[in-house]
Amino acid sequence: MTRRGVDRAVTLAILPFAIAAPFLWPDYMTFLTFIWIMIVLALTWDVLGGQMGYNSFGNILFFGIGVYATTIVQIGLFADVGAYTSAYGVETISLSRHEFLIGLAVGLAVAPLLAVAAAALLGSGLLGLRGQYFAIGTLGLGIAGGELAAAWGWIGGSFGVQVPVFPGDVLERRLLFYFLAFALAAATFLTLKRLYGGRFGLALNAIRDDEDKAEAMGLYTTRYKTVAWCIVAFFLGIAGGLVGQINGYIEPREVAFAGASFGIWMVLMAILGGKGTIWGPVIGAILFYLMKEFFWQQFFGWQRVALGLLIVVIVVFFPIGIIGWLKQRFPERFGHKVDEQARIAPDPAKGAPP
Amino acid sequence: MDMIGLLFEAPPLALQLVIDGVLIGAIFALIAYGMALVWGVMKIVNICQGEFVILGGYISYYVWQAGYPLAIGVPAAALALFLLGWLLYRTIIFRVVEQDLFISILATFGLAILLAQLMNQAFGADVRTADAGFGNWFLFDNLVSIAAIKLVSFGVTGIVAALLIWFMRRTRFGQAIRATAQNARAARILGIDTHSIYAFTYGLNAAICGAAGALIAMIWVIAPFGGLIYTLRAFMIVIVAGIGNLPGVIAAGLGLGIIEQFIGFVLGAQFQIALIFVLLVIILVWRSQLLRRRRKVLE
Amino acid sequence: MTALLEVRGASKHFGGVIANREISLAVPEGRIVGLIGPNGSGKSTLFGSIVGAHPVDAGSIEFEGAEITRLRTPQIARRGLVRTFQQTRIYRKMSCVENMLVSVPAAGEGFLDMLRPRNDEDIDEAEELLEFVGLYAKRHLVAGSLSFGQQKLLEFAMALMNRPKMLLLDEPTAGINPTLINGLLERLKRVNADLGITLFVIEHNMRVIMNLAEHIYCLAHGELLAEGSPDAIRNDRRVIDAYLGAT
């Protein structure tokens, strides 16, 4: 089977599985929902981190913006946000089914736009920089976002925001967010896959391998870099909005601008699976989240230490990741082979090859 | 904005901020010098710089808790961190040192997380400080107060800096480090064992951070996750001053200390952390604009 | 014959070091012009200035009669003025065909152009050019796995993919197996004759440049020392002293 054929077969096999899964294993629905979210986090980190060769430690900023924007918009459509947040969760608003869904839809539309605006603004400055300067410039973005959200009383300050209660039963709510998360993961995957297969992917890879050369060949690199970050921010904004809603409660430092968990996981997942590939982040996300879910309890409070150790070990000893390793082991499977036919057509006029 | 008015009405207040800024900025400059050293010699941007600082602070704190005088804290932290840095190089960093920057940034980023989480687990999340009990000096009818420990720490910073400069300029080993920084390949051909140089340089940087951290534990506070901010401060100073520009590092360090004091005073301490990040972004963008205008080859 | 590229009084210094001092030269359309000079005489710096990598401190550069002194590298490349590098620069982790496709001179670089899928015409063109330089069989290999000489050929093909009006080649034969140099020379001449691409070539190999170029400029210590036909240059006392004598 050709590589494209394998891709298509796998993609099609996942679809019925994804649709049936919540009905087959209803107890694991939240877990599965988070798998889809993790795939989005890993895939989006890889756009810059893998395909473009720019380490971004600040992507969690867009996620956090999405978390807040979605829920604040949802509340704001039907209630006074300042009054709601200053009641510290004592005063709840009960939205009708209709209101809840309308609010959610508008919120999930506003969130990515705000995130993209932030990416465009920051990117126009930071992405003019080369790799290492960009990496450090993004180090503080997540924390800065958390600090600013914590200092902003209107959106609940450090206390956070209570998400409006879903008007319906638990199973229904879980199903809704499961399918939203799945749709997001699928949209992210397909969009990126298409982009990587075209001019955009070529440009990102060229920037990764030699940015000066790409400019000398006429590529407007800053423009590509900024658009790439905006695409990342778009999907992360929606992902954040979903996570905030699923969580039911928003807090600036641990939920929204969760640099110490999601922010680090996305880096780890992408590298584990194989950065710079489309399937790598997907595999890395699934593998990591399974590991996290089933072994996390074994560490007795040392989970985050183990996480740090895992990053160091993977980056230092296994930087190419699972797919990267496969690529190295079986290059022909990925299409890197010498063509037996040495020329397009023998053409005596063109002379012998050197 | 009332605070700005206050500064004009009571100039000694401004003096207070400048003095505090200089005394703290000197420590920032020290940390930045270490970062520039590793950057220049090993071509690594060391993201776990701040975690070294905090760890040094904890070591001096526990030395002090154990009943030893504070004066022991600084050399003890420096020595312990030197060993740690050397060990980290021999186990981990040597694998990434001559690879591309992408890998070394990720590796030291991972180390930063690992160290911070380890410290959190070992020492708890509480904020700590080692109080020397030296008291304060007062000037201008008590309007300006200077903690004696800050002056002592300023003096110690100066001594450490002088020792470093002497070491780098006058000793054979310092010269070997500088030769490696200029051209690692040539140094290797001339028989210099660059891995030893790198291990020592990385240890030396960790020791510098350890000493700085010990001082910070005395004049300020330390907490397990407080490292990142020192990394960013050091980075800001280095990119403003440039690698291998010692007077520049000192000037930028003192300048940053003063700016932070004023920002904290005018806008309130709760914004200080966020504003350091904003400042970093501004400096980075300013630098790229400057380079673009001159249109030298951007690195 | 009009000048395609015209450099007037170009000066450039890095810190205290003067790399170029008031250099004026012209490259007529459709010709092959050489640029020679000892190491460190400022040849590559001049190339860098022309393509906007580091613009001149003083002087002006015109391409097709339009001022390009202050344009940035990608803008200049899009006008059809493309350089290759002395140290070969390719995208190491991408396949040869992908290396070629980056150079497609898209009509614009608007948002929609960026999101365009690969198209077969571009791939065909890339493969034809790879065949032209003799790399067709290796077109799906990762570029980093090619030998140095092959990378050099790939870089040359990438520059052609841009459909440039003029190519600045920085030592095209350096590091290439001497037995292959004649083949490369042949190709350079064909590119010039068949495709009408003007060539401006830095070259250390005297035999190559005397054979290739119709007109040669010689730099020394950042200044223009001499210019003329290959024969005139070969017999110029100053050139021999500064350059040929030294090697």
| Calpha distance A236→A63 (Å, rounded) | 5
3-state secondary structure of A210: coil
Q: How far is C154 from chain A (nearest CA, A)?
A: 13
What residues contact B163, with CB distance under 8 A and at least 6 apart?
A: none
Judge whether residue A346 has pLDDT over 80: no
**Element (DSSP H or E) covering residue B279:** helix B272-294
Chain B closest-CA separation from residue C54 CA (Å):
5
What is the spatial distance between Cα B105 and Cα B235, in angstroms, rounded to a whole number?
13
Flag if A216 and C137 touch (Cβ within 8 Å).
no
Give the whole-angstrom CA distance, residue A240 versus residue B76: 45
Q: At what angle do helices B49-65 and B70-88 cross, to 10 degrees?
A: 140
User: Which of chain C's residues have a Cβ under 8 Å away from the Cβ of A320?
Assistant: none
Q: How many CA atoms lie within 13 A of C167 on its CB side?
A: 26
- Give A 174-203 residues with CB within 8 A of chain B: none
Residues of chain C with C-beta less than 8 angstroms from the C-beta of A350: 131-132
Angle at B198 between CA B194 and CA B201, to 5 degrees: 135
Lowest-confidence range among A66-80, B26-40, C100-114? C100-114
pLDDT at residue A344 tops 70 = no
Output the average pLDDT for chain B.
86
For residue C51 the two structure tokens come to: 């393509």
Interface check for A98 against chain C (CB to CB < 8 A): the answer is no
On whether any CB of chain B is under 8 Å from the CB of A296, the answer is no
Under DSSP, the state recorded for C142 is B
Contacting subunits of B (3+ beta carbon pairs below 8 A): A, C
Backbone angles phi and psi of C67, in degrees to 5: -70, 125
If one compares A133 and A34, the residue with the highest pLDDT of the two is: A34
Contact between A202 and C101 using a beta-carbon 8 Å cutoff: yes
DSSP letter for C229, please: -
Residue in B closest to A305 by C-alpha:
B117
At A2 the pLDDT is: 63
Report the residue of chain C nearest A224, measured CA to CA: C114
Cβ-defined contact of B281 to A267 (cutoff 8 Å): no
What is the spatial distance between Cα B88 and Cα B76, in angstroms, rounded to a whole number?
Answer: 18
Number of A to B CB contacts under 8 A, please give it.
124
The pLDDT profile of chain C, 247 residues, written as one tens digit per residue, is: 578 999 998 888 887 788 888 899 999 998 999 998 888 888 888 998 898 888 888 888 999 888 888 888 888 888 899 998 888 889 999 999 999 998 876 656 677 777 778 888 888 999 999 999 889 989 889 999 998 888 988 999 999 998 899 999 998 888 788 888 888 888 899 999 988 899 999 988 888 888 899 999 998 888 888 888 988 888 888 887 776 555 4
Per-residue confidence at A351, pLDDT binned at 50, 70, 90? very low
For B299, which residue in chain C has the nearest alpha carbon?
A: C53
**What are the chain B neighbours of C48 within 8 Å (beta carbons)?**
297
The H-assigned helical ranges of chain C are 43-50, 73-78, 96-102, 111-114, 120-132, 148-161, 178-194, 206-212, 230-234, 237-239
Residues of B in contact with C52 (CB under 8 A): 295
Rounded-to-integer distance, Cα A65 and Cα A256, Å? 7
Q: Which residues of A touch B280 (CB under 8 A)?
A: 136-137, 140
Q: How many CB atoms lie within 10 A of CB C241?
A: 12
Q: Name which of B37-51, B277-291, C144-158 the model is least confident about.
A: B277-291
Contacts of B167 (CB under 8 A, 6+ apart): B173, B174
pLDDT at B123 over 70: yes
Reply yes or no on whether the pLDDT at B141 is more than 70.
no
Asked if A171 and C57 touch (Cβ cutoff 8 Å), the reply is no
Q: Are A218 and C159 in contact (CB under 8 A)?
A: no
In 10 A of CB B135, how many CB atoms?
10
Q: Is the pLDDT of residue A347 over 80?
A: no
Residues of C in contact with B296 (CB under 8 A): 54
Chain C interface, best mutation among B295, B297, B299, by max C CB count within 10 A? B295
Reported as a pLDDT band with limits 50, 70 and 90, residue A3 is low
Give mean pLDDT, residues A313-341. 82
Burial letters for B243-280: b for 16+ Cβ neighbours within 10 Å, e otherwise? Answer: bbeeebbbbbbbbbbbbbbbbbbeeeeebbbbbbbebb
Question: Are B154 and B25 a contacting pair, CB within 8 Å?
Answer: no
pLDDT (0 to 100) of residue A354: 39
User: What is the spatial distance between Cα A304 and Cα A295, in angstroms, rounded to a whole number?
Assistant: 12
Residue B280: name the closest of B221, B248, B238 by CA. B238
Residue A322 has φ and ψ, to the nearest 5°, of -65, -50
Q: pLDDT grade, residue A339 (50/70/90)?
A: low
Report which secondary-structure segment, H or E, holds C13: strand C3-14
Residue of A191, A204, A212, A213 best to disrupt the C interface, most CBs of C under 10 A: A213
Which chain A residues contact residue C137 at CB under 8 A?
Answer: 338-343
CA distance A240 to A292: 20
Q: Which of C82, C91, C184 sits opposite A216 (nearest CB)?
A: C82
**Sign of CA pseudo-dihedral A61, A53, A226, C122:** negative
Contact status of A130 with chain B (Cβ, < 8 Å): yes
Instruction: Enumerate residues 44 to 63 of chain C having a beta carbon within 8 A of any beta carbon in chain B.
Output: 48, 52-55
A151 contact residues in B (CB cutoff 8 A): 270-271, 274
Model confidence band, residue A40 (pLDDT cutoffs 50, 70, 90): very high
Check CB contact of A147 with chain B, cutoff 8 Å: yes
Closest residue, chain B, to A137 (C-alpha): B281
pLDDT on residue A89: 66
**Cα Rg for chain A, rounded, in angstroms?**
22
Distance to chain A for C89, nearest Cα, Å? 6
Residues 6+ apart with CB under 8 A from A225: A48, A52, A54, A123, A127, A207
The band of A305, judged by pLDDT with boundaries at 50, 70 and 90, is: confident
How far apart, in whole angstroms, are the C-alpha atoms of residue B114 and residue B227? Answer: 12
Higher pLDDT, A251 or C113: A251
With a cut of 80, say whether residue B131 has pLDDT above it.
no
With b meaning 16 or more CB within 10 Å and e meaning fewer, what string describes C153-191? bbbbbbbbbbebbbbbbbbbbbebeeebbebbbebbeeb
Return mean pLDDT, chain A. 87
Whether A320 contacts chain B with CB within 8 A: no
Residues 6+ apart with CB under 8 A from A204: A47, A51, A52, A196, A224, A228
> CA-to-CA distance for C64 and A18, rounded, in angstroms?
59
In terms of phi and psi (left: phi > 0; alpha: psi -120 to 50; beta: otherwise), the region of C170 is beta
| Angstrom distance (rounded) from CA B241 to CA B245 | 6
Assess contact for A207 and B102: CB atoms under 8 A.
no
Instruction: Label residue B30 by pLDDT band (50, 70, 90).
Output: very high
The reply to whether residue C73 touches residue A215, judged by beta carbons under 8 angstroms, is yes
Q: Do B113 and A143 touch (CB under 8 A)?
A: no
Cα–Cα distance for residue pair A66/A233, rounded to 1 Å:
9
Separation between Cα atoms, residue C187 and residue C193, nearest integer Å: 10
Lowest mean pLDDT among A42-46, A170-174, A297-301, C232-236: A297-301
Residue B79 to residue B74: CA distance in whole angstroms: 9
- Residue of C44, C71, C93, C115 to mutate for A, most A C-beta atoms under 10 A: C115
Whether residue B296 and residue C52 make contact (CB cut-off 8 A), yes or no, is no
Chain B positions touching A135 (Cβ under 8 A) are 45, 105
Round to whole Å and give the CA distance between A77 and A107: 9
> Which residues in chain C have their CB less than 8 angstroms from residue A227's CB?
111, 114
Beta bridge partners of C194: none
pLDDT score for A33 = 95
Measured between CB atoms, does A280 come within 8 Å of chain C? no
Cα separation, B133 vs B219, whole angstroms? 11
More confident residue, A336 or A352: A336
Q: How far is C144 from chain A (nearest CA, A)?
A: 10
Residue B299 pLDDT grade (very low, low, confident, very high; cuts 50, 70, 90):
very low
Q: Would you say residue B11 has pLDDT above 80?
A: no
| Tokens 């206050």, residue located | B6
- Please name the residues in contact with C100: beta carbons below 8 A apart, sequence gap of 6 or more: C126, C129, C130, C154, C157, C158, C161
